[in-house]
Amino acid sequence: MNFSEAQVRYAQLVEQIRRHDHAYYVRAQPTISDREYDRLYHELLDLEKQFPALITPDSPSQRVSGQPLKEFKQVQHRLPMLSLDNTYSQEEVRDFVNRVQKLLPNEKLEWIVDPKVDGVAINLRYENGVFTCGSTRGDGTTGDDITANLKTIRSIPARLRHGTAGLDAGKASVLASPDSGQLFESQSSRERSPSLLEVRGEAYLTKAGFEKLNAERRSAGEEEFANPRNAAAGSLKQLDPRIVAKRPLDIVVYGLGLVEGAAQMPQQHDQMLAWLKSFGFKTPDRTWHCRSAEELVAAIDELDRVRRSFAYETDGAVIKLNSFAQREVAGFTSKAPRWSIAYKYAAEQAETLLKGITVQVGRTGALTPVAELEPVFLAGSTISRATLHNEDYIRQKDIRIGDTVKIEKAGEVIPAVVDVVLTKRTGKEATFRFPTTCPECSSKVARAPGIVEGDEGVVWRCLNSDCPAQVRGRIEHWCARGAMDIEGGGEVLVRQLVQIGLVSDVADLYRLKLPEVAGLERMGEKSARNFLEGVAASKERDLWRLLFGLGILHVGAGVAKALGRGFPTFDDVLAASVDQLTDCEDVGEVIAQSVVQWHGDPRNRKLVERLRAAGLNFNSQLYQPKAKAGPLAGRTFVLTGTLPKLTREEATAKIEAAGGKVSGSVSKKTDYVVAGTEAGSKLDKAQKLGVKIIDEAELLRLCADQN
Give the three-class secondary structure for 475.
helix
Scanning 78-86, 187-195, 355-363, 438-446 for contacts with ligand IVH by CB under 6 A, the matching segment is 78-86
What's the length of the chain?
707
Under rule CB under 6 A, how many of the chain's residues touch ligand IVH?
15
Whole-number Å distance between alpha carbons of 247 and 658: 53
Residue 570 CB: number of other CB atoms within 10 A? 22
Residue 339 CB: number of other CB atoms within 10 A? 24
Q: Is 411 in the site for ligand IVH (CB under 6 A)?
A: no
Tell me if 222 sits within 8 A of 490, measured CB to CB.
Answer: yes
Residue number, nearest CB to ligand IVH:
121
Q: Is 84 in the site for ligand IVH (CB under 6 A)?
A: yes
Tell me if 264 sits within 8 A of 272, measured CB to CB.
Answer: no
Closer Cβ to ligand IVH, 321 or 475, answer by number: 321
Nearest to residue 259, comparing CAs of 315, 193, 210?
Answer: 193
Q: In whole angstroms, how large is the CA radius of gyration of the chain? A: 30
Minimum distance from residue 313 beta carbon to ligand IVH (Å):
11
Minimum distance from residue 553 beta carbon to ligand IVH (Å):
30
Q: Name which position in 14, 17, 93, 117 contacts ligand IVH (CB under 6 A).
A: 117
Nearest to residue 252, comparing CAs of 136, 155, 387?
Answer: 155
Minimum distance from residue 256 beta carbon to ligand IVH (Å):
10
Q: Name which position in 21, 48, 110, 114 contacts ligand IVH (CB under 6 A).
A: 114
Q: Name which position in 175, 300, 318, 357 contacts ligand IVH (CB under 6 A).
A: 318
Q: What is the largest CA-CA distance in the chain?
A: 98
Closer Cβ to ligand IVH, 202 or 505, answer by number: 202
Is 102 noted as a catalytic residue in this protein? no
Minimum distance from residue 80 beta carbon to ligand IVH (Å):
9
| Binding residues among 354-373 for ligand IVH as defined by CB under 6 A | none
Sign of CA dihedral 441, 446, 450, 453: positive
Scanning 80-88, 406-414, 601-609, 676-684 for contacts with ligand IVH by CB under 6 A, the matching segment is 80-88
What residues have CB less than 8 Å from 306, skipping those under 6 apart? Answer: 286
Query: What is the enclosing helix (H) or strand (E) of 116?
Result: strand 111-117
Residue 34 CB: number of other CB atoms within 10 A? 9
Integer CA distances (angstroms), 155 to 152, 201, 249, 279, 596, in order: 9, 12, 9, 11, 49
Q: Residue 268 burial by CB count (10 A; 0-12/13-18/19+): exposed, middle or buried? A: buried
Minimum distance from residue 134 beta carbon to ligand IVH (Å):
14
Q: Name which position in 255, 362, 365, 564 contacts ligand IVH (CB under 6 A).
A: 255
What x-and-dash track marks residues 461-500 binding ligand IVH by CB under 6 A? ----------------------------------------
Closer Cβ to ligand IVH, 343 or 672, answer by number: 343
Tell me if 540 sits within 8 A of 617, measured CB to CB.
Answer: yes
Closer Cβ to ligand IVH, 167 or 306, answer by number: 306
Minimum distance from residue 89 beta carbon to ligand IVH (Å):
17
What x-and-dash track marks residues 607-646 binding ligand IVH by CB under 6 A? ----------------------------------------
CA atoms within 13 A on the CB side of 554: 17
Scanning 115-123, 411-419, 507-515, 645-653 for contacts with ligand IVH by CB under 6 A, the matching segment is 115-123
What x-and-dash track marks residues 191-230 binding ligand IVH by CB under 6 A? -----------x----------------------------
Tell me if 110 sits within 8 A of 289, measured CB to CB.
Answer: yes
Q: Is 289 in the site for ligand IVH (CB under 6 A)?
A: no
Q: Is 82 in the site for ligand IVH (CB under 6 A)?
A: yes
Q: Name which position in 22, 63, 77, 116 contacts ligand IVH (CB under 6 A).
A: 116
Query: What is the enclosing helix (H) or strand (E) of 371?
Result: strand 367-378
Whole-number Å distance between alpha carbons of 69 and 64: 13
Query: How many helices (H) does the chain have, and how many strands (E)?
Result: 25, 22
Q: Residue 445 burial by CB count (10 A; 0-12/13-18/19+): exposed, middle or buried? A: buried
Minimum distance from residue 565 beta carbon to ligand IVH (Å):
24
Whole-number Å distance between alpha carbons of 70 and 344: 38
Minimum distance from residue 341 beta carbon to ligand IVH (Å):
9
What x-and-dash track marks residues 332-351 binding ligand IVH by CB under 6 A? -----x--x-x---------
Closer Cβ to ligand IVH, 17 or 97, answer by number: 97
Minimum distance from residue 697 beta carbon to ligand IVH (Å):
55
Q: Is 121 in the site for ligand IVH (CB under 6 A)?
A: yes
Q: Is 254 in the site for ligand IVH (CB under 6 A)?
A: yes
Closer Cβ to ligand IVH, 84 or 639, answer by number: 84
What does DSSP say about strands 196-205 and 120-127: parallel, antiparallel, or unpaired? antiparallel
Marked catalytic residue, from 49, 70, 116, 682: 116
Minimum distance from residue 5 beta carbon to ligand IVH (Å):
47
Closer Cβ to ligand IVH, 136 or 670, answer by number: 136
Whole-number Å distance between alpha carbons of 225 and 362: 19
Q: Is 144 in the site for ligand IVH (CB under 6 A)?
A: no
Q: Residue 290 burial by CB count (10 A; 0-12/13-18/19+): exposed, middle or buried? A: buried
Whole-number Å distance between alpha carbons of 633 and 548: 33
Q: What is the DSSP letter of 308?
A: G
Minimum distance from residue 269 beta carbon to ligand IVH (Å):
9
Residues near ligand IVH, by CB under 6 A: 82-84, 114, 116-117, 121, 202, 254-255, 284, 318, 337, 340, 342
Catalytic residues: 116
